Structure 1
Amino acid sequence: MALDNRLGCFCPHGDIHIEGKPGGPLSGLRFAAKDLFDVEGHVTGAGNPDWLATHEPATATASSVSKLLEAGAALHGKTITDELAYSLAGVNMHYGTPVNAACPDRLPGGSSSGSVSAVAGGLVDFALGTDTGGSVRVPANNCGLYGIRTSHGRIAKDGLVPLAESFDTVGWFTRDARMLARVGEVLMGPRAPLPTGRLVIATDCFDLVGEDVRAALQPVVQTLIAAVGPRHYVTLNPDSYDAWLAAFRHIQGHEAWQAHGAWITRTRPKMAPEIAERFDLGRQVTAAQLAEAQAVREKARQRLAALLRPGDVLCLPTSSGPAPVKNMTGAAEGAYRAAMLKLTCPAGLTGLPQVNLPLAKLDGCPLGISIAGLPGSDWMLLDLAEKLAAA
């Protein structure tokens, strides 16, 4: 059976169908996997035709995919990713831009663009993505889905094309909170939630977005206050988000070049100019810049560890606004990306889990708010998402 690709979310080489094990907890469900996850016997394309042409079929299936198949879910296609996952837009010059089913004139977000499109458009029940700098959280915000970036290291990354090892995490998208937790039961094991403590509202993160975004999110903040109870208003970053963002970019760029620089130098692949530029900037990161960035990262980790207690729920906007229109260019695009990354980089720098809650709208388009917690508090967040959905 050929894939239904009316949304342009499946990659041309991704027409893969593997039935799940009968009788499992996810039997009867279909999922898709971002084209960074290995499937035995198939070449993982990583969003770039030259990568596809220069790599052999995988000899094993990524354990995250295998666990879902063992649990009974059927793999229903590989989905488009931005090239080597190095973008948050959802635009791929080789394979196209998957449709944002919630707002078709707007970008789906990347780099898990195909996965978010397939779920939002109802073609699968859930889909695997990855999140390095926001690649689950931003698409979930843009398309009105639940999405989780798991604690760094919580889910094994074997059989996964890397981007930046110390940031890369496995995540997934669903249309409802219960499904988000059902997938978590397979990938993370039995529920082990902490009771929620305080709702910690990062006021400086809300200051990073426009007044219209704050107004649209305020009713959701009130819902969270009612659900969690005690609340505490904090400045998440007393220093500078510019400094946190620079540290994120330097470490990510360096690690991305370490992962793929040799292949890029040898193959000279055809890449979108902005992707090629990011890799080239990573190549140029100096030892001094890297050391400074690592020091900023350590300070950020210490700040979060001092600020949050076990059970605390950190609340912040997921992104700087709704999905941008497809034709946004130039200065507007740069400003949007920088504002967005300032909101997504804290979790990457500190290894936090973060869940997008698709509970608001602005200008008729989805707008997400995020809950996060100390590393390892993934189940607390999934349980709270379910509680809010049931309210």
Structure 2
Amino acid sequence: MSPITPPLPRRDDPVGAFMPGARLHIDPTGSGPLDGFTCGVKDVFDIAGATTGFGNPVWARTHPPATAHAWAVERVLSRGAHVVGKTISDELAFSLSGVNHHYGAPLNSAAPDRLTGGSSCGSAAAVAAGLCDFALGTDTAGSIRAPASFCGLFGFRPTHGVVSTTGVCALAPSFDVVGWCARKPGILERVGDVLLPPDQLGLESSVIHWDLEAWSIPEACDPSHRVQIAGLVSPSIRLEDGEVSEQGLDLWFETFRTLQLAEVWAQLKDWLEAATPALGPGIAERMKAARSVTAEQVSAAAALRDDIRRQLERTWRRTHVIVIPTVPGAAPLRSASVETLEAYRRHAMRLLCVAGLGGCPQVTLPFLRTSHAPHGLSLITPPGTDRQLLALAHRIAAKFAALD
């Protein structure tokens, strides 16, 4: 496969992060914690008067302009943010690569020879390039966490269901969440102050779970880093080795994949059959797989998900924070083949599926490097502890900066 061609550079968008055409600018509608901050918005969120493209030009042509802002967009505008454009999404938000067959692959400022990751590729590229202070994205199977990791950013996936997805294109609703990324942990936390409800549980950080299976995935990280990382989480830490998955992360990934594929097909089937769009490489194959999932497979996977959630509930009784690498290593090269990208995706999904299956919040922090490129360290905490997790990430980042 030849190197992927980036979108044509523009003076106001040298990395090709934003959708083609005139950049959308929306002034704040109120004042608050986001005063003075600029925001990019993934092109899966409705913005009143604009057509939401969902990463596919046929989708854009077959859907009318939005009549209202998505809830999350309205919320950040009302608290002082200035929206500076719609960012490119991977096609139908159904990819982790950051490559859109129709709109190109935004450039990764943190590692220009590597991909940004997806599906919130434009959001991460815009933030990494300094074109906005933070960006809204979505995360179903890792679509904010992977790009944040690849681009050296802080990224956050909240507890499932705590941030409204009203006005956001749905992919797999039982996993879909609104997420966001930023270069600075303080901004990540400020966005959380605006979008998140009060926490439902208290969070301690005196016991952390170092998942041995997750850290054994190729290229994840040098295990010798674990004592330093534990010390950053808390000065009086008890480090607990173990494996959160009783069945193994391969089975967790297959459980997630089956349920996600079934939901994707249920969500998009009618449009796909009516519009017959030409889908790009990787997307077409995954959609074919989605069409073939059987009711029996879904029933078995749903039962496994229930069991997985019970396992996680037991984990939360003895530990407070799960520490894993966000992804297996640095982002794939822009010259990577479709086969290489698919293999990386499968490795990554063994890590990314944990929070999705458990409905847990997860923050990725840009603390690791492999092959001279960034990748993230992740903290996962129990559902309903989102604000405390963001505050913990902010404290850890301050300690890490002091060591640098």
Alignment TM-score, normalising by the size of structure 2: 0.92
Deviations 1:328-356 (A, max 9, x none): 11543332111111000111111111000
- Equivalent in 47, 51, 55 of residue 43 of structure 1: 51
- Answering whether residue 211 of structure 2 is matched by residue 202 of structure 1, we say yes
Q: 3-state DSSP class of the match of 2:179?
A: strand
Partner residue in 2 for 1:96? 104
User: Matched residues in 2 for 1:22 and 1:332: separation?
Assistant: 46
> What is the Cα deviation at residue 191 of structure 1?
7.1
User: Matched residues in 2 for 1:227 and 1:132: separation?
Assistant: 34
Deviations 1:67-120 (A, max 9, x none): 100001101100000011000000001101011010011000000000000000
Instruction: Check 1:274–1:330 CA distance in 2 against 1; reply closer, same or farther (3 A cut).
Output: closer
Alpha-carbon contact 2:221-2:368 (below 8 Å) kept: no
- Answering whether residue 335 of structure 2 is matched by residue 333 of structure 1, we say no
> What is the Cα deviation at residue 377 of structure 1?
1.3
- Answering whether residue 129 of structure 2 is matched by residue 129 of structure 1, we say no
Alpha-carbon contact 1:354-1:373 (below 8 Å) kept: yes
> What is the Cα deviation at residue 5 of structure 1?
1.3
User: Matched residues in 2 for 1:253 and 1:209: separation?
Assistant: 26
User: Matched residues in 1 for 2:49 and 2:38: separation?
Assistant: 20
1:194-273, aligned counterparts within 5 Å? 194-210=203-219, 213-215=221-223, 217-218=225-226, 221-224=229-232, 226-227=234-235, 229-273=237-281
> What is the Cα deviation at residue 214 of structure 1?
2.6
What code does the residue aligned with 2:139 have? D
Higher deviation after alignment, 224-233 or 139-148: 224-233
1:13-24, aligned counterparts within 5 Å? 13=21, 15-24=23-32
Q: 3-state DSSP class of the match of 1:213?
A: coil
Alpha-carbon contact 1:98-1:114 (below 8 Å) kept: yes
Alpha-carbon contact 1:11-1:78 (below 8 Å) kept: yes
Alpha-carbon contact 1:16-1:78 (below 8 Å) kept: yes
Partner residue in 2 for 1:382? 390
Provide the aligned C-alpha RMSD in A.
Answer: 1.9
Alpha-carbon contact 2:198-2:387 (below 8 Å) kept: no
User: Matched residues in 1 for 2:325 and 2:270: separation?
Assistant: 37
What code does the residue aligned with 2:321 have? V
What code does the residue aligned with 1:319 have? V
Which 4+ residue blocks in structure 1 deviate beyond 6 angstroms? none
Deviations 1:50-77 (A, max 9, x none): 0000000011111100010000110110
Alignment TM-score, normalising by the size of structure 1: 0.95
Alpha-carbon contact 2:264-2:290 (below 8 Å) kept: yes
- Answering whether residue 38 of structure 2 is matched by residue 30 of structure 1, we say yes
Q: 3-state DSSP class of the match of 1:128?
A: strand
- Answering whether residue 64 of structure 2 is matched by residue 56 of structure 1, we say yes
Q: 3-state DSSP class of the match of 1:130?
A: strand
> What is the Cα deviation at residue 225 of structure 1?
5.2
Matched-pair identity in %: 42
Alpha-carbon contact 2:206-2:234 (below 8 Å) kept: no
User: Matched residues in 1 for 2:229 and 2:240: separation?
Assistant: 12
Q: 3-state DSSP class of the match of 1:28?
A: coil
User: Matched residues in 2 for 1:57 and 1:3: separation?
Assistant: 27
Partner residue in 2 for 1:152? 160
- Equivalent in 360, 364, 367 of residue 375 of structure 2: 367
> What is the Cα deviation at residue 35 of structure 1?
0.3
What code does the residue aligned with 1:117 have? A
Deviations 1:280-338 (A, max 9, x none): 21111101110111111111111101111397011011000011111111543332111
What code does the residue aligned with 1:263 have? W
1:70-85, aligned counterparts within 5 Å? 70-85=78-93
Alpha-carbon contact 1:20-1:69 (below 8 Å) kept: yes
Structure 2 residues without counterparts, runs of 5 or longer: 1-9, 400-404
Instruction: Check 1:17–1:3 CA distance in 2 against 1; reply closer, same or farther (3 A cut).
Output: farther
Instruction: Check 1:161–1:225 CA distance in 2 against 1; reply closer, same or farther (3 A cut).
Output: closer
Alpha-carbon contact 1:216-1:362 (below 8 Å) kept: no
- Equivalent in 294, 297, 314 of residue 322 of structure 2: 314
Alpha-carbon contact 2:282-2:338 (below 8 Å) kept: no
Instruction: Check 1:379–1:280 CA distance in 2 against 1; reply closer, same or farther (3 A cut).
Output: same
Alpha-carbon contact 1:200-1:314 (below 8 Å) kept: yes
What code does the residue aligned with 1:318 have? T
- Answering whether residue 331 of structure 2 is matched by residue 323 of structure 1, we say yes
User: Matched residues in 2 for 1:189 and 1:310: separation?
Assistant: 26
Alpha-carbon contact 2:231-2:237 (below 8 Å) kept: no
Alpha-carbon contact 2:157-2:180 (below 8 Å) kept: yes
> What is the Cα deviation at residue 49 of structure 1?
0.3
Q: 3-state DSSP class of the match of 1:360?
A: strand
Alpha-carbon contact 2:330-2:375 (below 8 Å) kept: yes
Alpha-carbon contact 2:208-2:230 (below 8 Å) kept: no
- Answering whether residue 302 of structure 2 is matched by residue 304 of structure 1, we say no
What code does the residue aligned with 1:254 have? A
> What is the Cα deviation at residue 384 of structure 1?
0.8
Instruction: Check 1:227–1:36 CA distance in 2 against 1; reply closer, same or farther (3 A cut).
Output: farther
Q: 3-state DSSP class of the match of 2:221?
A: helix
Instruction: Check 1:310–1:6 CA distance in 2 against 1; reply closer, same or farther (3 A cut).
Output: farther
> What is the Cα deviation at residue 241 of structure 1?
2.1
User: Matched residues in 2 for 1:116 and 1:318: separation?
Assistant: 15
User: Matched residues in 2 for 1:280 and 1:217: separation?
Assistant: 41
